[in-house]
Structure 1
Amino acid sequence: MTDTSGLSSSKPNNLEIPTESAFSAACPAPFAVALREAVRRRGLPLDRICERLNARGIRLTPATLSYWQRDRTRPERSDSLRAVVALESILDLPPGGLSALLPPQRPRGRRVARTDEHATRRLYGQESWQEQALGDAFADFNRDIVVLLTREVLHLDRRGCVRRLIVNHLVRAVADGPEQMMNLHFLDDPDGGLPEANLRCGQLESLRQDAASGGVMLQIGFGRPLTLGETMAVDYEIRTAPYDSPTGFHERGIRGNQDAYLLHVYFPHDRHPALCHSYYRENSAAKERKVRPLAVDTSGTAHLYAAQCRQGIYGMRWHWPDDSPS
């Protein structure tokens, strides 16, 4: 079984992603209102304003200025903040007339970096089943949240088939507005039918199966829009329909840097694997690396723990004894 996770920041509507950002167009920020009014009063086209910025050694495009006026994006980087100070002079505003209206700078660094479409494609590969299943929504997959922690508990029956999968996430919003998360699971028997999903923390908005790949898609609502920096716990369980396809591995694709990943596998009490190991792959096409043997404890379980995870695929693989029942 393989798992991936991501976000659709729109409300449930056949996975359609809005073209506008999560900022509210109905109530734009004071900075956007002040900039738009100052540009209107000054009467300069945006390209002329950019030319004057360029003369001061500041590169800015008319499209960026337009986005700032409509509150689709906000100046955050050092060069953008320099542009804001220069705009105050160009638009005949007093010092601080724009810069004082900016919200506190968004925290930057490993935990809040957005995962873009290209990084997602590097992990899963061109024309992956994830991209085919999501369609146009693939570009915004997990755009406005990052996953901080993931814990998975996998239960196998006596034949080695998946019966239950428990998933816990702790996620953080890296922009205002995300309302839901999407998780994808590729079951070992794609023809086994749609599994049952029980949400203990979060709201199940939709549960669907992609006809071409068999991948299962869960859309999980947070119950309200999150604000920048806010965290949310997600907790759910998947129960598969009975099928006869034993599995020999479980892995999760992590698309951005993550604090920790824990996988705990419960093997049948009377049938333990002969060998068990953890591994890491840079992407879906790469071979297993960093292979480490894992012990099966007295309770018949094995676990994989990875801290400070970078982008890649983390997994556990096991082999049944030759004389085990099929």
Structure 2
Amino acid sequence: MTDTSGLTPNEPNTRETDTESVLSSGLSPALAPDPASDLASALSAERPAPFAVALREAVRRRGLPLDRICERLTARGIRLTPATLSYWQRDRTRPERSDSLRAVVALESILDLPPGGLSALLPPQRPRGRRVARTDEHATRRLYGQSSWQEQALGDSFADFNRDIVVLLTREVLHLDRRGCVRRLIVNHLVRAVADGPEQMMNLHFLDDPDGALPEATVRCGQLESLRQDAASGGVMLQIGFGRPLTVGETMSVDYEIRTAPYENPTGFHERGIRGNQDAYLLHVYFPHDRLPAICHSYYRENSSAQQRKVRPLPVDTSGTAHLYAAQCRQGIYGMSWQWPDDG
């Protein structure tokens, strides 16, 4: 099974804005510091101070040298230099890349600040405008090639495919029946608007039985606008609405499930195409308990015509599942393959 719904522009990672920070006007009163303190003034929702001022005051009150703070960040898997922290405090630079924004969230804990205390003070992400739209189309063609089934299925709308959103995180849960055929696929995306106005996203899946009946789809987060199957390729397309236009920098969770009709051919792989700079991808496959795979691997391909690379064995755990986790995904196709004991 192949998924191409997690497509993101081939842009450098821009500032990740937490949904609560976008939609709320300030910190929860229960989490707010003592108004009498200097730090409380810096973090006040009523009189927000620049990010640099709040960070500088929080570091001063915590009493930790910058190198010690960086050591604590490193222990959490986040690499940051004391020079970068110094630049942030003096407002010479600001966190914008995804790893820098992860550091800001970690700093809130290290410096004993309430959740969102620093993140909420960062300025809104700058719109990318037409550059994102142009990159979308080119990045998709680089990944899937000219005249791909995705382009044929989308027709004239291919150039604008998910043009004003990026996918930050994707989690997929695949359930196989006793014959090893796909029966259920659960997908969750965290997406972010890179311009004002996006109201929906398109998700594409290529099923192992393209001649079968149209699968059923249930959307738990979002609204199912349409569900159709491309007659030529068999690809399934879901159009999921957000319920309202998003503003630039705003995040939205999309959660849905696909249930296929029974068919006879067991599957041997599942993969997802990513156009680049996605923070994380997690694939969790549930195998039938009485028919576990003999071999299971993860792999990566640069594009749809490339051979598998970075092939690594994956263990099947005691619950009969295996998972693939990829962080800081670049452009390419991420997948898991397996071989059944009776495949010869």
Calculate the TM-score normalised by the size of structure 1: 0.68
> Structure 1 pair 26/318, CA: closer, same or farther in 2 (3 Å)?
same
Distance 1:216 1:321 in 2: 30
Shift of 1:56: 49
Shift of 1:229: 0.1
SS in 1 for 2:217: strand
Shift of 1:256: 2.4
Kept in 2, the 8 Å contact 1:12–1:205? The answer is: no
Task: Say whether residues 1:206 and 2:230 are aligned partners.
Answer: no
Kept in 2, the 8 Å contact 1:257–1:311? The answer is: yes
SS in 2 for 1:38: helix
Kept in 1, the 8 Å contact 2:8–2:166? The answer is: no
> Structure 1 pair 283/71, CA: closer, same or farther in 2 (3 Å)?
farther
Between 58-67 and 117-126, the greater mean CA deviation after superposition = 58-67
Shift of 1:218: 0.1
Q: Deviations over 1:261-304 (max 9, x none)?
A: 00000000111000000000000000000001000000000000
Shift of 1:258: 0.2
Shift of 1:119: 1.0
> Structure 1 pair 40/197, CA: closer, same or farther in 2 (3 Å)?
same
Q: Deviations over 1:40-72 (max 9, x none)?
A: 999999999999999999999999999999999
Match of 1:115 among 135, 156, 174: 135
Distance 1:65 1:290 in 2: 35
Kept in 2, the 8 Å contact 1:277–1:317? The answer is: yes
> Structure 1 pair 139/29, CA: closer, same or farther in 2 (3 Å)?
farther
> Structure 1 pair 38/231, CA: closer, same or farther in 2 (3 Å)?
closer
Q: Deviations over 1:208-240 (max 9, x none)?
A: 000000000000000000000000000000000
Q: Deviations over 1:90-116 (max 9, x none)?
A: 999999999999997706799989842
Match of 1:218 among 238, 241, 250: 238
> Structure 1 pair 98/170, CA: closer, same or farther in 2 (3 Å)?
closer
> Structure 1 pair 193/308, CA: closer, same or farther in 2 (3 Å)?
same
Distance 2:317 2:75 in 1: 68
**Count of residue correspondences:** 324
Where do 5+ consecutive residues of structure 2 fail to align? 21-40
Kept in 2, the 8 Å contact 1:2–1:250? The answer is: yes
Task: Show the counterpart of 2:215.
Answer: 195
Shift of 1:245: 1.6
> Structure 1 pair 36/308, CA: closer, same or farther in 2 (3 Å)?
closer
SS in 1 for 2:57: helix
Between 212-221 and 60-69, the greater mean CA deviation after superposition = 60-69
Q: Deviations over 1:182-232 (max 9, x none)?
A: 000000000111000000000000000000000000000000000000000
Between 46-55 and 270-279, the greater mean CA deviation after superposition = 46-55
Identity, % of aligned pairs? 91
Kept in 2, the 8 Å contact 1:8–1:180? The answer is: no
